């Protein structure tokens, strides 16, 4: 089911290009619309399954974390630039996920995962470039975003591993996040949603890059250790970069191409079945127990 996680990351990677179809829209409003539409679609689609969850209120903190992650990401980008904010927020997510999984579930990260994740983060940093003013407050907010991502990913994985339906878990989390983000959407303005292009973009972002993507991600978490899934999700910036070249006509420098190769290679290592690793015994036992 690692392929499901990669599929989710591919869909996430299309969000930036889709968002550029609507010019002049506040990015926070765009993110809020994405969560409101996606969360409502998810909640409606899997409604009966949500009602079957034994204690859905346990997912309320994770739903708040989903919404707060979006706000932290955009706040970090506005303070320290797109490149640094993205690398810190997205790159720290797998690290925090591995640490939380280790602390809460005693799932010790494998050396292969640690090495591949480090290379993937380095590739992400090279791919997005190092420009921008480094501001401590922006970096700290980005790190908080990475921690929030890790929290809701690990929470979802723990509930799913306890026997809950992955669709129901994602529906409850993102349905709750939609409720939290609705006031943000109303506050930032909805006039752009009355235009066909704006409405179609919001529907794509909500239905494809949120609802469908997190259905796939949740199903991947059924059999994929959450730390591994978080690292595979780093395919998102690679997809975004390739779409920038193919669809938007952006230029990919040699440095960015090198970062893309680093990122792709490290993700391939993470995605390989454990039997391809030279260290089969303990690593395989750890990952299979997650």
Report how far residue 241's alpha carbon sits from residue 59's, in angstroms, rounded to the nearest whole number: 33
pTM: 0.86
The residues spanned by each domain of the chain are 2-288
The pLDDT assigned to 12 comes to: 93
**Considering only CA atoms, which of 1, 7, 3, 2 is closest in space to residue 213?**
7
In the DSSP assignment, the letter for residue 274 is G
Convert 229-257 to b/e letters by CB count within 10 Å (16 or more is b). Answer: bbbbbbbbbbbbbbbbeeeeeeeeeeebe
The pLDDT assigned to 60 comes to: 94
Instruction: Say if residues 174 and 63 touch (Cβ distance below 8 Å).
Output: yes
Token code pair at residue 285: 């036992």
The pLDDT assigned to 286 comes to: 38
The pLDDT assigned to 133 comes to: 60
Residues ≥6 apart with Cβ < 8 Å to 249: none
| Residue appearing with tokens 């480090």 | 118
Report how far residue 16's alpha carbon sits from residue 239's, in angstroms, rounded to the nearest whole number: 10
Token code pair at residue 58: 């346990």
Whole-angstrom CA distances from 28 to 22, 77, 177 are 13, 11, 14
Query: How many C-beta neighbours within 10 Å does residue 140 have?
Result: 15
Helix/strand/coil for 24: coil
Report how far residue 84's alpha carbon sits from residue 143's, in angstroms, rounded to the nearest whole number: 11
Helix/strand/coil for 69: helix
In the DSSP assignment, the letter for residue 193 is G
The pLDDT assigned to 132 comes to: 54
**Considering only CA atoms, which of 256, 283, 261 is closest in space to residue 131?**
256
Q: What tens digit of pLDDT does each residue of 178-222 get?
A: 999 999 999 999 999 999 999 999 999 999 999 999 999 999 999
Geometric angle at alpha carbon 202, from 196 and 207, rounded to 5°: 125
The pLDDT assigned to 283 comes to: 40
How does pLDDT run along the chain (290 residues), one tens digit per residue?
Answer: 789 999 999 999 998 888 888 878 888 999 999 999 999 999 999 988 888 887 777 899 999 999 999 999 888 887 877 667 777 888 888 999 999 998 988 888 888 888 888 888 888 888 766 555 667 888 899 899 999 999 999 999 999 999 999 999 999 999 999 999 999 999 999 999 999 999 999 999 999 999 999 999 999 999 999 999 999 998 888 888 788 777 777 777 787 788 778 878 887 887 776 554 444 444 433 343 33
The pLDDT assigned to 249 comes to: 76
């Amino acid at each position: 089911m690692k392929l499901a996680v990669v599929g989710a990351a591919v869909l996430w990677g299309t969000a930036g290009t889709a968002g550029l179809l609507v010019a002049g829209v506040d990015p926070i409003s765009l993110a809020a619309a994405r969560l409101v539409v996606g969360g409502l679609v998810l909640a409606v689609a899997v409604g009966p399954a949500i009602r079957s969850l034994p204690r859905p209120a346990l997912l309320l903190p994770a739903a708040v974390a989903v919404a707060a992650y979006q706000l932290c990401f955009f706040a970090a980008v506005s303070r320290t630039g797109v490149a640094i904010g993205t690398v810190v927020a997205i790159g720290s997510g797998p690290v925090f996920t591995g640490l939380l999984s280790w602390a809460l579930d005693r799932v010790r990260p494998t050396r292969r995962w640690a090495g591949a994740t480090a290379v993937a983060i380095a590739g992400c940093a090279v791919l997005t470039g190092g420009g921008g003013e480094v501001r401590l407050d922006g970096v700290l907010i980005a790190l908080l975003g990475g921690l929030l991502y890790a929290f809701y990913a690990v929470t979802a994985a723990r509930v799913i591993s306890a026997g809950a339906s992955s669709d129901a878990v994602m529906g409850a989390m993102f349905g709750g996040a939609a409720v939290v983000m609705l006031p943000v959407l109303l506050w930032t303005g909805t006039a752009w949603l009355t235009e066909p292009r704006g409405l179609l973009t919001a529907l794509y972002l909500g239905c494809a890059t949120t609802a469908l993507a997190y259905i796939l991600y949740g199903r991947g978490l059924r059999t994929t250790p959450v730390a591994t899934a978080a690292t595979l999700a780093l395919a998102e910036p690679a997809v975004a970069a390739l779409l920038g070249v193919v669809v938007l006509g952006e230029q990919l420098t040699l440095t960015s191409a090198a970062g893309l190769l680093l990122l792709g290679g490290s993700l391939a290592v993470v995605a390989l079945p454990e039997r391809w690793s030279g260290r089969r015994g303990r690593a395989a036992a750890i990952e299979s127990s997650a």
